[in-house]
Structure 1
């Protein structure tokens, strides 16, 4: 039997504690109904026996304290709510326990912004990690040595896992069920809980908001110019001349400040404007393309799909109100 420890940190989001517990417990019920042995022993693990979550609205009674648990096979770190610096300070006593368990062979998985606690252990330094796209800028600032892949739903780095934002953590739970219990069990759970399988990207749900929480005023001016003039053809040389910087210096500083190259930033601003038009207007795809400054339909569609994971037509079908109702 595989022992699974679902952590209950201070400030945990209740759903990402209870959700995995419920789905994994249902796996056991399914296996027992088939005349098989239960596969998982699932325990809620805290630093104390009683943990306040959701701003004190709820209390979770843990099954065991971390310091009392000698051996586990999988640690699940749920999402945390609120100020991440305070969250990490309140839960730092989990870190040596996680590291000790990992050294003893345990796998570790983070859900959504639980990635901040995972990254604090150092286990994903130099490795890929996913988190909620809305937390991407803060994560990069706090953990620059982690390879954040903000578009991904699931990462698997040799037994260290992470998931994208919000309820996409359920896709990681299905992934783990398939790994441990087999494809047929994972498919049944996807149907029972109505979780869409094989979703690997959170790109269609991302909203691009350029990283402006930096101190480089020249780069902020460049960002503002791009965002106000995205319909026009903007070149790197034009921006460099406007800011009285060399092209090389501008490109270096822009990448450092925003985590995007200038060309990538321009593309993302244009595609974000296109997404808004496709969501709210009746303009056809070509009209949207021209309004955001593209003249080549193939280039527009290629860039749109690379950034969102969907074609413009698929995106409109998914998110435009008139096509949904």
Structure 2
């Protein structure tokens, strides 16, 4: 199935990022086509331009105009070289972004593009990154979210934010990794002379939940789990969020995501644990508690099974802090 990635050109958007991402995905597409030994394109890139802040974006470019129209997989809001877009100016854009997100489209931003994503309200209670010079402004304007400008990229599955002005390369490679796999991502980085941080290994991979399955009830639960960091994974609670009977919910959830609710929530929790192990000195037992495991032994087993390393080994290999908790 061809993946469609849309790039949003709003008033003041940095066109260099739009064109750079278009080229990056074009290179990835050629590599993927070569690997698959087929002429069918793997990636479609579309540009969606907002001529006036009161209008919704419309498609002005399609890299595969001869192919049948499909469904978007991701939308990216690029940086601006001017002042970040105001909430009032972003009203039509954010409505359009929310509508696509509700259909399972992943949303991404680079640098000041985070202001448009924040204005959707979809990241309230969650973490977001942007350029360090905008961090205070973003936090003050949207106090319901948590700005972490120390992170170059924060991948929450349905929402991905990248920090610096040139971090579109990191965001682009992250999406290539997600949709086309690590082999294509590594080769794309090699061609473009961009340094990928070893994401070909299992312990670098980021959980990328399936969001384009079309089941609105399951998608609602996925968004809720992401926003709450899977704090409450009781079947009764999840089924209630979906508005379904428990047995019906379990069947539809596995069909839509390819996982049981237990497997899905374990991967969400392990993803959060990896961040804590990398960027804090919190003890491993405390990390287990923070991500929802009252039994540190059970946490260690789940972590090792999913990541391929024990929590301690993972921290020793990837910690960016000055010390490491035991």
TM-score for both structures, normalised by structure 2: 0.53
Q: 1:195 is paired with a residue of what secondary structure?
A: coil
SS at match of 1:165: coil
Distance (whole Å) between structure 2 residues aligned to residue 150 and residue 139 of structure 1: 10
Residues 64-213 of structure 1: matches in 2 within 5 Å? 71-86=71-86, 88-198=87-197
Q: In structure 2, what is the equivalent of residue 28 of structure 1?
A: 29
4+ long deviations beyond 6 Å? none
Cα deviation, residue 12, structure 1:
0.2
Give ranges in structure 2 of 5+ residues lacking alignment. Answer: 53-58, 63-68, 200-319
How far apart are the structure 2 equivalents of 1:48 and 1:139? 24
In structure 2, do the counterparts of structure 1 residues 85 and 29 end up closer, same or farther at CA, with 3 Å as the change threshold?
A: closer
Count of matched residue pairs? 188
The alpha carbon displacement at 1:158 in A equals 2.8
Separation in 2, partners of 1:103, 1:157: 15
Q: Which residue of 2 aligns with 1:214?
A: none
Q: Which residue of 2 aligns with 1:3?
A: 4
Q: Distance in 2 between matches of 1:187 and 1:44?
A: 25
Once the 2 structures are TM-superposed, how far is the Cα of residue 83 of structure 1 from its aligned partner? 2.1
Q: Which residue of 2 aligns with 1:17?
A: 18
Write out aligned runs for 1:254-273 (5 A).
Answer: none
TM-score (norm 1): 0.53
What aligned pairs does 1:207-246 form with structure 2 within 5 A after superposition?
A: none
Asked if 2 retains the 8 angstrom alpha-carbon contact of 1:28 and 1:40, the reply is yes
Partner of 2:47: 44
Match of 2:60 in 1: 62
Which is greater in Rg?
Answer: 1
The Cα shift of 1:306 comes to 4.1
Per the alignment, in what secondary structure is the counterpart of residue 38 of structure 1? coil
Shift of 1:129: 0.6
TM-fit CA distance, 1:199:
8.8
The C-alpha deviation readout for 1:223-277, integer Å capped at 9, x for no partner, is xxxxxxxxxxxxxxxxxxxxxxxxxxxxxxxxxxxxxxxxxxxxxxxxxxxxxxx
Structure 1 residue 2 displacement after superposition: 1.4
Per the alignment, residue 245 of structure 1 pairs with none
Any idea what the Cα deviations from partners look like across 1:48-81, whole Å, max 9, x if unmatched?
Answer: 49xxxxxxxxxxx9328xxxx9942211110122
